[in-house]
Amino acid sequence: MGFYNPRPESNFIVDKVLKWITDIIVFVAVAVFFVIYLGEETSIVGSSMAPAIDDGQVILIDRMSYEITSPGRFDVIVYKSKTTENQYVIKRIIGLPGETVKIEDSKIYINGEVLEDKYFDGTYESGYAQNEIKVGNNQYFVMGDNRNLSEDSRFEYIGNISEEDIIGKAWLIASPFKEIGFID
């Protein structure tokens, strides 16, 4: 007479497949949560941030980090356009609140000191920043990485960007697939 085993024998393959499916569902749910509640996606139009971010790429925007911390120098931000309604603009923060910015001979001066600029090597127009610009409280001086094709804070009609207009920090290139990666 044998012993009764109340547990049926498990099917190894079914257990592995169910675990795999559960893992995928959890991963997708977490990803959807992050994109919907903590982030946003937008398509890039133009090449003002090339080569870091190119025309036609889709990026993810972190909308939450600036609820906790303030934007920092060299952060790539997305903000509401001052010139086109319902359009986002992407640029890199150069000047912080309370600083002065001046551009002379393609060198950026922050409070009179040369800023080491690893995002562009070449010559470009100083624009309005040929004269010292004061960055106000809750404002940021921004520039595109492709300085010769960027409309940014160097131009009076753009000027400094208000913190309230910042949507969030650009953090990930999401498309095309072969270019997926974090934004520096």
pLDDT digits (tens, 9 = 90+) for 30-42: 877 766 666 777 8
pLDDT in tens, 97-112: 999 999 999 999 999 9
Q: How confident is the model at residue 3 (pLDDT cuts 50, 70, 90)?
A: low
The dihedral formed by the CA atoms of 73, 78, 84 and 86, expressed in degrees to the nearest 10: -150
Q: Which helix (H) or strand (E) holds 40?
A: strand 39-43
- pLDDT on residue 149: 93
| CA end-to-end span of the chain | 71
Residue 58, CA atoms < 13 Å, CB-side half-sphere = 9
139, containing H or E segment: strand 139-143
65 is catalytic: no
Catalytic site residue from 10, 47, 48, 169: 48
One of 80, 81, 91, 106 is an active-site residue; which one? 91
Tell me the average pLDDT of the chain: 88
pLDDT tens for 128-173 read 999 999 999 999 999 999 999 999 999 999 999 999 999 999 988 8
Q: What pTM did the predictor assign?
A: 0.80
Domains of the chain from N-terminus onward:
12-182 (2.10.109.10)
Q: Is 91 among the residues known to form the active site?
A: yes
